Structure 1
């Protein structure tokens, strides 16, 4: 018996809500492949080595979340393509950040790995950098989370 984890779709934390939608390994890999122009069920399955039932479930969840949309196949065949919606495309910086973190922390010096490059130049994509309103690099110590007050605390 598979136990479904409790969702956090009502959490006041944006990270928790995002992870509720895209926090699964297979989900993120499907999104990664969609950015690499994988569009067909069979192509996702072949690329990922994922079981059909798991892929079906994750594709359905991504459609329900408005991240992927099933459309008639671009070649006119009876198949359908899965394409990123604008909401899905807005996940690009998330995928790039995960890629760059992996490049920096999970490969030995000089170890070969895939590289994200700009189509126009063929050059590697620059490292993502968060900037403050003043244009200076923004580090974790320069931020804090402004949490919501508990509902009953504001009535006191």
Structure 2
């Protein structure tokens, strides 16, 4: 999707960017996940995206497992693109990007709000500790996980001290 790969990166963010790291991708997924858009023409109309770009993104989502393509019952040659569980799992990411955009990029009040279907209360993305609940993002640090290859770690440059040392 990005025109280049991140083969040298051992990072799940880089892997995710290979699938959704392009602005149209996130907007297509936003419309599919939160507005229930499934038809090519509706995506194209709502987003104003070029048809060739839209088709490439939808094909990549189908190939990557984020959507399935299925024919519309009773309408030959008409397909719809339905979000899979893998695609729906991006919902918290989309909420987080929206909240960041509302705080740092929007010119005024938020243009949309996310609400819980069960009670209509606001829904937010948060960093959450399994033991202590919500935490300040400044209190989150990274450790090596079980999928980190030892050879990759051995080949990295040491982290510099934040004080400049």
The TM-score bracket by the shorter chain reads 0.7 to 0.9
Unmatched 5+ stretches in structure 2: 156-165
Q: 1:68 to 1:133 in 2, by over 3 A?
A: same
Measure, in 2, the Cα distance between the counterparts of 1:138 and 1:124. Answer: 19
Measure, in 1, the Cα distance between the counterparts of 2:153 and 2:107. Answer: 51
Per-residue deviation, 1:72 = 2.0
SS in 1 for 2:129: coil
Matched, 1:134 2:131: yes
How far does the alpha carbon of each residue in 1:26-55 deviate from its partner, in whole angstroms, 9 at most, with x for none? 011111010110000000000110001000
Contact 1:45 1:51 (8 Å CA) reproduced: yes
CA RMSD of aligned residues (A): 2.4
- Match 2:12 to one of 11, 14, 17: 14
Per-residue deviation, 1:104 = 1.9
TM-score (norm 2): 0.78
TM-score (norm 1): 0.82
Per-residue deviation, 1:151 = 5.2
Measure, in 1, the Cα distance between the counterparts of 2:151 and 2:116. Answer: 46
Runs of 4 or more above 6 Å deviation: none
**Equivalent residues in 2 for 1:59-98, closer than 5 Å:** 59-73=58-72, 76-78=74-76, 79-98=78-97
- Aligned residue pair count: 148
